[in-house]
Amino acid sequence: MTGQRRSSRAESTSKQKLRLWLRLLRLAHSIEVELRRRFASEFKTTLPKFDVMAALSRAEHGMKMTELSRYLMVSNGNVTGIIDRLVAEEIVERRAQAGDRRATFVRLTGKGVARFGIMAQAHEGWIAEILAGYSSAETETLFALLGRARTAAGPRQNGGAADLAGVADASDQDRRSAADGQRFPRRRGSGGTHVR
């Protein structure tokens, strides 16, 4: 009888954790949908473009395309399409690397830095508004608990590359994106690298 009780308790605990995981996914998805809507409405841009700009905002001298795709944990092809559009908008510029014609650096232009600053400030405000129901103490508790879960999930799969975004270290992993209008396949949610 005791064995059955223990087994039943273990099953209910595992189901509870599964429900928690699904709730986290739904929350991340709903926030992402709202961020997409706001970026489209207020800036006529996409969340993936913002995420790429966020990554580049942390690399003052630019990044190689291969570094950027590794940083975002997506293929070079996914990043190239977004970079092409950002270059056309004069938000990003490409530069050849001295001594290596195959390597291309990309970085934000002056216009890109200014535009990202405005978008990052709006993004921070949106997140604060969306999560306004959590007190400062509750936020700290959730932050710590989710940090523990992240540690338990194992090492990062990006080979230790710098975090993409900046709400804080523990939430950086939540900010990688993909082709225009769609998230990169591996991730959900966005943050931006603007919060240090």
71-80, 83-92, 176-185: segment of lowest average pLDDT: 176-185
pLDDT band at 149 (very low <50, low <70, confident <90, very high): confident
- CATH number for the domain including 77? 1.10.10.10
- The count of other CB atoms within 10 Å of the CB of residue 124 is 16
Between residues 191 and 67, the one the model is more confident about: 67
Report the first-to-last Cα separation within the chain, whole angstroms.
Answer: 54
Q: Is residue 190 part of a domain?
A: no
Q: Is residue 31 part of a domain?
A: yes
Burial class (CB in 10 A: 0-12, 13-18, 19+), 113: middle
Rounded to whole angstroms, how far apart are CA atoms 81 and 187? 18
Q: For the chain, what is the domain count?
A: 1
In this prediction the pTM is 0.72
Q: Is residue 96 part of a domain?
A: yes
Between residues 41 and 190, the one the model is more confident about: 41
Residue 130, SS3 per DSSP: helix
Between residues 164 and 86, the one the model is more confident about: 86
Q: Is residue 26 predicted with pLDDT exceeding 60? A: yes
Q: Is residue 71 part of a domain?
A: yes
Q: Is residue 187 part of a domain?
A: no
Domain carrying residue 96:
2-172
Q: Is residue 177 part of a domain?
A: no
